[in-house]
Structure 1
Amino acid sequence: MYIHQLKDWPSFTWDAEAIHVRLGEVRHRQGRILGLMSSAGFKMQENTVLDTLTLDVTKSSEIEGVKLNTDQVRSSIARRLGIEIAGAVPTDRNVDGVVEMMLDATQSYTNDLTADRLYDWHAALFPTGRSGMHKIAVAAWRTPEAGPMQVVSGAMGKEKVHFEAPAAEKLPVEMDMFLKWFNAEPTTDAVLKAAIAHLWFVTIHPFDDGNGRITRAITDMQFARADETAQRFYSMSAQILKEKATYYEMLEQTQKGDLDITRWLSWFFDCLFNAMDHTEETLAAVLNRTQFWEKNREVSLNSRQQYMISKLLDEFHGKLTSTKWAKMTKSSPDTALRDIQDLIEKGILEKETGGGRNTAYSLIA
């Protein structure tokens, strides 16, 4: 028997004393982050939000095994928020769709969550009406014709069913209850409500596909309500990806348990607390990038140089060589060398010790 089959579903209970301390720590840290960011300059706030939303969108998709191009995600978010960035790239409709959903959830967090709004998010996730090669119902709850919605693992013929969602016939009633609760004036702490909403929606699993990503968008929407700001400075999705195995294990245990969700809440608050650790790393990276562009704001750079400097300021893997420059910018070896030499002359790049055919270069701090 699954949790949604219990007689009192969805009347969740929990041990308030058991979660009180950790919830308080999360709330305190949340306040510190918001206080720190309120004292930061506008540009730093803007860049931190851009970094956090980029992380949130890419990692939420990666949890589901969908790899999005980080540069495209960043460019899509920047364009929609009116943020000017160096090295912006064209974006495809799949990336734009995920970004549209996340921005609608976080930037319009005060608006009610409705079935039509969720349908719009779902349509944005699946612009072709297909999940991979399979045609799915888009902008609509799943139908009985699709069969039971199960979470399974294992090879064909040896599948293990971890969970089965409520039957499609029950979805109108299930979603009506959820949406009325989500939009009602809160009677519990706003972060606690985010944890409950996450579990409740992913248990209903109302769509043919995309339920995980929409669940996390709803969670971020509730975090924005808890923070009382559309500015996002921490990413729960990035931390869930790090704890992916435990996340799915905790979901399965909770969905096969009773309506006492204390263990789920404790894990959720721990995960959120850990997610806030990354905020300090994000701030350090943003500060470094902001200082670099401020220092070099008068320097003339071509689009290839802007792109490569942006990559070096973010997460550049390995050493920068002229060969790697040419490959990443889709330019000739001669053009790559000219670009690099120009940056050396402008005091932006320097040669690392060594030399020869594998000469490496690095940014001057």
Structure 2
Amino acid sequence: MRWNWQQGDWPDFRWHTEVMAQAEQDFLRGAGVLVGSAKHLNDDARQQVMVESMSAEALTTSEIEGEILNRANVQSSIQRQLGLISDRRRVKPAEQGISELMVDLYRGIDGLLTEDQLFAWHRMVGAGRTDLRDIGCYRTSVEPMQVISGASYSPKVHFEAPPSSQVLKEMKRFIGWFNRTAPEGGSRLPALTRAGVAHLYFESIHPFEDGNGRIGRAIAEKALIQGFGQPIIVALARSILAHHSDYYRALEQANGSNEVTKWLRWFGAIALEAQRRTIADIDFVIHKAKLLDSVRGRINPRQQKVLLRMLQEGPEGFVGGMSAKKYSTIAGTPPATTTRDLAGLVETGAFIRSGELKHTRYALNIPVTKIPRVTIDGTGEIISSS
């Protein structure tokens, strides 16, 4: 099989602009809603949204690569870098590194993409690694850079990137393209199209020994943020994680041709889902503040602990709802106290009760913002994105 970079039209990606037209309009409309929602936040709430958004993206972009990080440690690291109050806890190098990448991405949305920035990002995602030879520079191995699966005696090659000797030339061309297609560049592209092509283009080169997925998603995030000119992290990695296997299948299918309409259609739908997640995050913060204000001074410390624990789960809620058993575990209360505390939370309007007896569950009394999900069939085709 000839990969996309081995073909005569590389890297002149082609696509049908009319296929992306509606998605681009929806993205711009959503960007307006997102910016408008953010204006209703005070400074503290705005900082909270930013910290939680960056933390969630740091965790999920790492989880896509099979690395599970500690949420509290990542949040602490991000807060410290932003100059906010932090518990100063010790964090692992991987948690510190991905947190630094997110903060650098947020702070530098208006800047050009540079080789130095990419090398810095690679040092961040490679923090603490002792198994990599090339950290903070492009790969140099003479061995083929392949994405493979299956047994060692019969591997399946999903993709093979250009040899290391070509990476410097390819990356100079990629960086030039990315900056020319920016909103202020001479060859401006619409936000979703630019982000989708940028991600595929970068992943096709696969310039680093490891960490290409995390850096490639950061590049796509940068393109999306630049598309609406506001420093708000879009929940791209969270939506990709929700469609994890489809993501890799879509990338693999796109690596065989430089006609990328199908890939862009897939990426655009995922990015729109991500944008709607971010809007839901902001709506949740607004309703969360109202709920906490309404119960201030009316609940005891046990109830407050459980309420805050539920609120940590964000707009998608506490899996399975709150039960008496879960409450007792979190608050450390006996059955009688648990029953009184839960009844009190319903009475104050913090919780909504449903079900009876063993099936009784409690949910936060907060409007739920529905996040339209992308539905994808077994071949990777999008069935619905609403």
Please confirm whether the aligned pair reaches a TM-score higher than 0.5, indicating the same fold.
yes
Distance 2:218 2:60 in 1: 12
Structure 1 residue runs of 5 or longer lacking an equivalent are none
Matches within 5 A, 1:126-275: 126-130=126-130, 134-145=131-142, 147-184=143-180, 185-191=185-191, 192-232=193-233, 234-257=234-257, 259-275=258-274
TM-score relative to the length of structure 1: 0.81
CA 1:215/1:305 → structure 2, altered by over 3 Å: closer, same or farther? farther
How many angstroms does 1:56 deviate by? 1.4
Q: Which amino acid aligns with 1:100?
A: E
CA 1:136/1:322 → structure 2, altered by over 3 Å: closer, same or farther? farther
Q: Which region of structure 1 is more displaced relative to structure 2, 57-66 or 35-44?
A: 35-44
Distance 2:318 2:76 in 1: 17
**SS of aligned partner of 1:68:** coil
Corresponding residue for 2:116?
Answer: 116
How many angstroms does 1:230 deviate by? 1.4
Matches within 5 A, 1:321-360: none
Structure 2 residue runs of 5 or longer lacking an equivalent are 367-386
Matches within 5 A, 1:66-145: 66-84=67-85, 90-130=90-130, 134-145=131-142
CA 1:97/1:296 → structure 2, altered by over 3 Å: closer, same or farther? farther
Q: Which region of structure 1 is more displaced relative to structure 2, 107-116 or 191-200?
A: 107-116
Computed over aligned residues only, the root mean square deviation of the Cα atoms, in angstroms, reads 3.7
Q: Which amino acid aligns with 1:98?
A: I
**SS of aligned partner of 2:112:** coil
Distance 1:76 1:296 in 2: 30
Q: Which region of structure 1 is more displaced relative to structure 2, 213-222 or 277-286?
A: 277-286
Percent identity (aligned): 29
**SS of aligned partner of 2:286:** helix
**SS of aligned partner of 1:151:** strand
Distance 2:104 2:53 in 1: 15
Distance 1:35 1:204 in 2: 38
**SS of aligned partner of 2:154:** coil
**SS of aligned partner of 2:259:** coil
Distance 1:208 1:307 in 2: 44
Q: Which amino acid aligns with 2:151?
A: A
How many angstroms does 1:207 deviate by? 0.7
How many angstroms does 1:251 deviate by? 1.0
Larger relative contact order (CA 8 Å, sep ≥ 6): 1
Distance 1:116 1:328 in 2: 46
How many angstroms does 1:269 deviate by? 1.0
Distance 2:271 2:66 in 1: 22
Q: Which amino acid aligns with 2:97?
A: G
How many angstroms does 1:291 deviate by? 2.7
Q: Which amino acid aligns with 1:248?
A: Y
TM-score relative to the length of structure 2: 0.77
Is residue 165–residue 203 contact of structure 1 (8 Å, CA) maintained in 2? yes
How many angstroms does 1:41 deviate by? 3.3
How many angstroms does 1:300 deviate by? 12
- List per-residue Cα deviations over 1:307-326 (Å, max 9, x = no partner): 76532212545677999789
How many angstroms does 1:204 deviate by? 0.6
Distance 2:328 2:78 in 1: 27
How many angstroms does 1:93 deviate by? 2.5
Q: Which amino acid aligns with 1:276?
A: Q
